[in-house]
Amino acid sequence: MPFRPMNLAPIFPQPRADPISEPGWATELKLDGFRGLADTINGRMLSKNLNPLKRLQHLLDALPYDCVFDGEICVLDSDGRPQFNDLLFGRGDPVYVVFDLLFYEREDIRSLPLKERRAILD
């Protein structure tokens, strides 16, 4: 029977108007791409709404292990800046920027603090 992660969904960021200075919080740059889950266990790229992203399946090739990664799919310009319109209209080579790990070696690790998941990801 194939492994099927239950209740699979990205962990959505919470926007704030003011910067966070409290300990224990993490901030991320907005990469201006498509949010995506990379499920190397079942060989699929999924949108944040869990729709298959078949034209981006090749992004799985560089990802190791039996994991589910959370990240952003972007197209970068020659200066390394994300260009949303290039991604939207299929110009340029998409990259997958991983920022979280939800399943590691087929184990659900979403209950671990982000700091610990990132340590495993590193």
Catalogue the active-site residues.
30
CB burial class (10 A; 0-12, 13-18, 19+) of residue 10? Answer: buried
Query: What gap in Å lies between CA 10 and CA 8, rounded to an integer?
Result: 7
Strands 94-104 and 44-47: unpaired
Query: What gap in Å lies between CA 76 and CA 84, rounded to an integer?
Result: 9
Those residues whose C-beta lies under 8 Å from the C-beta of residue 78, and which sit 6 or more positions away, are none
